[in-house]
Structure 1
Amino acid sequence: MPPGRLEDAARSHRYLSLLERQRIATLRGQGLGVREIARRLDRAPSTVSRELVRNMLRHDGDRYDGDLAHARARDRTRRPRGSRLLADGELAQVVQDKLKLEWSPQQIAAHLRLTYPDRPAWHVCHETIYQALYNGSSGLSRTLTRRLRTGRPLRKRRRRPDRRKIRFVVPSVLIEHRPAIVAERARVGDWEGDLIVGRMSRSAIGTLVDRTTRYVRLVHLPHGHNADQLVTGMLTTLGDLPEHVRRTLTWDQGSEMARHDLLADHFTDGIYFAEPGSPWQRGTNENTNGLLRQYFPKGTDLNIYDAQALRDVEERLNNRPRRTLGWKAPIDVFTPALAR
């Protein structure tokens, strides 16, 4: 069926047919309400209500004419819907600039509402931005899809990681013994950590994220990622932070944390470990690692990234607005806590 054509018979159960519209007019003329009309048509009440709101003749005492309503519907489907981004070059440029900074469409949509409250035409939803990217005809280059977190239009189911055995000589403290306040995200300084590993597990980067502010620090590990090397990298990465923002650390039970005892004095309220095979117990860090894979793809040699490259990625992530922070950036929430 050619696009834009609405048959007199229903195109699908999604659309009202001419006969259905004529029956709505008849039943409404008999004084029946929306729910009863919907029941007799075997349609959702919201469908009937929406039809009446769209097509009642306001200038004629809210009369509903089924034939006229169907003609209006056919006119609407024939009329092409232009892209709001294509119609407004300035808006398209703002969106494109943010995509180049690896902002997500959701972050961009929120930014437009907060930054331009007096320009309602710019208040596009994130789906509009996704569609503009993937249909290739809305003024945005499809190459910008590479700037999205996944770099692809479809989500991929995450494979459950293999369970790990406990490998620590010094006994570890499980997450169930962690102070309850950590779960509340009511303070700054409770960190979650992990490694993202490169090709053939020969290289790695340590990742640290504050649970409350989503502020990220990356651990440079140029000489390997065994237990001693991780301790050295962690002390370097967090050494400039005041004690009151180094409260707890939660990690998984990977062998790289076998010398966690050497870090114990660095976290005032202790180091805790998730149950084996339970990444959801470090959900903030798991999400952060997903964001980081945009910059450090799986299967690459992570040793090609020097310390400055890691700082650059930190800056990118820490300056992105986050929905969970009311569209503030992590750095804007974390920095004031340093002075307390």
Structure 2
Amino acid sequence: MEKALRSGRTGRKPQSKLPARNTRPWLEGARLSDRPAEVDDRAVPGHWEGDLVVGPGNSGIVTLVERSSRFTLLGRLPGVRDSATVIEVMQKMIHTLPQAMLKTITCDQGTEMAQHATFTVVTGCQLFFCDPHSPWQRGTNENTNGLVRDIHPKGTNFNQVSDEELAHTQHLLNIRPRQTLQWDTPSERLAKLIDGVALAS
């Protein structure tokens, strides 16, 4: 008999927790290969990456990061992580942004985004989905989640984090100078992008 690995599995290929491909109809027309090519080089603002950072008690926050500026939005979930709730929180998070800054959001294939079509109808912003087990395809978001974890370590129950605390975390991330932005902060870079979009129009 083949010796079991430490995880208890005997095979070396990890078992996916995602639904089978044929039970994920929300992916049709929204895979990474369907995403506009302009997203890739970060030259055009308004393209975002999204994910959940989760904790015990079914707690979690939505993280959205704009690819050009690294500007981050954080939204706390109300103790549930179903798709309708996640989509509603995301809509509230982006409602003050100019439409020109809301082109696409790239996420993983988690079922919490299954109702993304509703989000697109309401906001005009289309969602696209990375390939399975490919977090590097939204690496800016992965890096940002790591920064969030520096402030709210793994095991944090986000049901016990106040809105004021979360807003402060978002503020800290957005006033942090970034070498990749020539030492601008994400807030400064986003303001420049919004000004540029306004002038172009």
Query: What is the TM-score of this pair, normalised by structure 2?
Result: 0.83
Residue type of the alignment partner of 1:298: K
Identity of aligned residues (%): 39
Asked whether the 8 Å contact 1:247–1:267 carries over to 2, the reply is: no
Match of 1:239 among 95, 100, 114: 95
Instruction: Answer yes or no: is the 8 Å Cα contact 2:52–2:61 preserved in 1.
Output: yes
Q: What is aligned with 1:193?
A: 50
**What's the CA shift for 1:225?**
1.4
Structure ranking higher in strand proportion: 2
What are structure 2's unaligned runs of at least 5 residues?
Answer: 1-13
Structure 1 unmatched ranges of 5 or more: 1-160
1:205 aligns with 2:96: no
Relative contact order, higher structure (CA 8 A, sep 6+): 2
What letter is aligned with 1:249? I
- SS in structure 1 opposite 2:128? strand
Larger radius of gyration: 1
2:146 corresponds to = 290
Partners of 1:281 and 1:324 lie apart in 2 by 18
Q: How many residues align?
A: 179
Which amino acid letter does the alignment assign opposite residue 47 of structure 2?
D
Shift in CA distance, 326/162, structure 1 to aligned 2, threshold 3 Å: farther
CA distance in 1, matches of 2:69, 2:122: 20
Take 2:52 and 2:15, find their aligned partners in 1: how far apart are those partners? 15
How do 1:59-78 and structure 2 match up within 5 A? none
Query: Could you report, residue by residue, the CA deviation over 1:115-141 in whole angstroms, capped at 9, with x for unpaired residues?
Result: xxxxxxxxxxxxxxxxxxxxxxxxxxx
What is residue 105 of structure 2 aligned with on the other side?
249
Worse-matched range after superposition: 261-270 or 280-289: 261-270
1:1-340 to structure 2, matched below 5 A, reads: 163=16, 164-165=18-19, 166=21, 168-172=24-28, 173-199=30-56, 202-266=58-122, 268=124, 270-339=126-195, 340=198
Runs of 4+ in structure 1 over 2 Å off: 161-172, 265-270, 336-339
Q: Which has the higher helix share?
A: 1
Instruction: Give how far 1:315 is off.
Output: 0.6
Q: Secondary structure at the match of 1:263?
A: helix
Question: Which whole-Å CA distance do the structure 1 matches of 2:156 and 2:27 have between them?
Answer: 34
